[in-house]
Amino acid sequence: MAVKVLSLLPPLLLAAAGLAGLLLLCVPTRDVREPPSLKYGIVLDAGSSHTSMFIYKWPADKENDTGIVGQHSSCDVRGGGISSYADNPPGAGQSLVECLEQALRDVPKERHVGTPLYLGATAGMRLLNLTSPEASADVLAAVTRTLMQYPFDFRGARILSGQDEGVFGWVTTNYLLENFIKYGWAGRWFRPRKGTLGAMDLGGASTQITFETASPAEDPANEVQLRLYGQLYRVYTHSFLCYGRDQVLQRLLASALQTHSFHPCWPRGYSTQVLLRDLYASPCTAAQRPQTFNGSHRVRLAGGSDPALCRGLVSGLFNFSSCRFSRCSFNGIFQPPVSGDFMAFSAFFYAVDFLRTVMGLPVASLQQLGAAVVTVCNQTWSELQALAPGEGSRLADYCAGAMFVQQLLTRGYGFDERAFGGVTFQKKAGDTAVGWALGYMLNLTNLIPADPPGLRKGTDFSSWVVLLLLFVALLLAALVLLLRKARSTKSPSAI
C-alpha cells in the first residue's frame, strides 16, 4: 500500500507545481494593489444662453489610455450666458460662484491644488466681441478675477474659435466611443475598424459640423489635421455663426415682422410682445433691421400654425446662390459630401427628442422627420399646451427649431435618406455629456498623446501566454501520468 502511494507521489508533485504556477499567473498583481488615485479637471462651458460646469476624473496611472476620462459631476450656472453681462461684467463672475463652490465639494480637498480649471466661451462671446470688443474683454477679465480666487490651477478664460469648437466636439465624441484606439480583451492596443463618427453641434448662437473625409479640402479654412495616438486624421469642419438655435429664432422673428403680420412658425392662439431693442441688438438680425426704429417700442405678434409659410421663412436663412468651389453647403461655404455616421447633440438632440417623446412621432427617416415637423407646426397653442404642460413659452418655438433642424440637415448639409440613417441624436455617451468641453480639456492637458501607446503591455502579455501554456502542459502531463498509474494499480486487483 505504502509503495502504491509513493509511486503516485511524482505525478502529484508535478500537478501541484503546475497548479501553483497557474494560480500565481492568474492572480492579477496590478489589481491587488490599492486602488489608483484619481485626477480631476474642470471646464466651464460658457455658451451663449447659459454656462455649464463639467468636472472630469480619471485614474492617475492610466493617463494616456483612451476612454478613461469620464464625467464626475456637472453644474448648470443660474441665469444667462456670460455674454449677457455686457452691461455688468462683475455679474458674470458672480454668476459662477455657486457652481465653483460645488466644485470645491466635488473635488477632494487634497486634489484642489493640482486640478486644472478652464473657461471656454463660444459663439455668444464671439458675437459680443464683434459688436463690442471692450465689453467682451471686460467680461473675460471679470470671470478671470473670480476664477483666480479659487484654489484650483486656473489656466485661463478664452473665446474658442468656431473651428476649435467643432473639432473638440468631434474629439469628445470619438474619444468617448473609443473610436481612436482601444485596449482590447487580448491586452493589446488596436485601432477599431469602424472609423470615426462625425459630430454635429447646435448651440445657442452657432452650429458646427465636423467629420473625417478623404475628399481634398478646397478651402484650407475648413481643414484640420490631427495626430492622435500615432494616427493622422484629416477632418472637415465648419462653424456657422448666427445659425445657433436662439439666433435662428431671433432671425425668424425679425423676418416674420418684415414679411407677415403674424409668425407662421408660432402656434395659432399664441401671441406675445416683442421689444424691438432686444430683437435688433444681435448682429445676426442686422440684415432685417429697419433703417429707423424705436428700440423701446413693443410689437405684438401672433402665431399662425402655418407649416408651409414657416418652411418658406426658414428657407430664407440659407443662401445657395453662389459657390466658388466644386460644391458648397450654403452661404458659399465649401463642404465635401457628408460621409460616415454622425452623432448630433445639444439642441439637435432637444429638437428631435421633443418630436419623439412629447409628440410621440417617429423620426427614424428623413420622410418621418419631415412629416413630424409638419405635424408640430400645425398644432394650435392649446393643443401644444395639452401635450406638454409646464413647458412655458419655449413651447411656441419647437416648430421653428424642428423646421430649422430638418432644413439644415437636408438642404443645408445635404443629408439624403441613406446618410440620415447613420445619424444618432444623443446628448450623452455613458455618463458623460457630449460637447466640446471634454475634447478641449483632453487637448489642453495633453491627455491624448500624438504617439501610439507603448508596446509594454503587448510584450508583457505574450510572455504571460507562453508561461500559461507551459504550466497547462505541465498540469496535463501530470494528469496523464496519474491516470496511467491509477489504471496500472487497479487492473491487477480486478483479475
Ligand X SMILES: *[C@@H]1O[C@H](CO)[C@@H](O)[C@H](O)[C@H]1NC(C)=O
Closer residue to ligand X (CB): 121 or 405: 121
> Can you tell me the distance from the alpha carbon of 117 to that of 40, in angstroms, rounded to the nearest whole number?
9
Q: Is 126 exposed, middle or buried (0-12, 13-18, 19+ CB in 10 A)?
A: buried
CB distance 66 to 175 below 8 Å: yes
Minimal distance, residue 31 CB to ligand X, in Å: 17
Question: Which residues partner with 237 through β-bridges?
Answer: 210
At 8, which amino acid appears? Answer: L
Residue matched to cell numbers 485596449: 183
Minimal distance, residue 261 CB to ligand X, in Å: 20
CB distance 249 to 223 below 8 Å: no
> Can you tell me the distance from the alpha carbon of 288 to that of 86, in angstroms, rounded to the nearest whole number?
23
Q: Is 479 exposed, middle or buried (0-12, 13-18, 19+ CB in 10 A)?
A: middle
Please identify which of the residues 63, 165, 178, 383 carries the catalytic annotation: 165
- Phi-psi domain of 202 (left: phi exceeds 0; alpha: psi -120 through 50; beta: other): beta
Closer residue to ligand X (CB): 18 or 210: 210
Beta-sheet pairing, 38-46 with 342-346 = unpaired
- Residue 165 a catalytic site member: yes
At 38, which amino acid appears? Answer: L
Closer residue to ligand X (CB): 295 or 337: 295
Minimal distance, residue 280 CB to ligand X, in Å: 14
Q: Is 66 exposed, middle or buried (0-12, 13-18, 19+ CB in 10 A)?
A: buried
Give the Cβ contact number of residue 302 at 10 Å. Answer: 15
CB distance 16 to 470 below 8 Å: no
Minimal distance, residue 318 CB to ligand X, in Å: 9
Closer residue to ligand X (CB): 136 or 285: 136
Minimal distance, residue 445 CB to ligand X, in Å: 9
Closer residue to ligand X (CB): 378 or 426: 378
* 3-state secondary structure at position 239: strand
DSSP states of 74-116: EEEPSSS-GGGGTT-HHHHHHHTHHHHHHHHHHS-GGGTTT-E
| 207 marked ligand binding residue | yes
Within 8 A by CB and 6+ apart from 118, the residues are 41, 42, 43, 44, 155, 156, 157, 158, 440, 441, 444
Minimal distance, residue 440 CB to ligand X, in Å: 9
Minimal distance, residue 375 CB to ligand X, in Å: 7
Question: Which residues partner with 371 through β-bridges?
Answer: none
Residues that bind ligand X (CB under 6 A): 61, 63-64, 129, 133, 136, 140, 159, 164, 167, 226, 294, 296-297, 307, 319, 321-322, 332, 374, 378, 443, 446, 449
> Can you tell me the distance from the alpha carbon of 411 to that of 319, in angstroms, rounded to the nearest whole number?
10
> Can you tell me the distance from the alpha carbon of 246 to that of 180, in angstroms, rounded to the nearest whole number?
33
Instruction: Give the Cα-Cα-Cα angle 315, 317, 321 (nearest 5 degrees).
Output: 80
| 206 marked ligand binding residue | yes
> Can you tell me the distance from the alpha carbon of 455 to that of 90, in angstroms, rounded to the nearest whole number?
51
Known binding-site residue numbers:
204-208
Catalytic amino acids?
165
Known binding-site residue numbers for ATP:
204-208
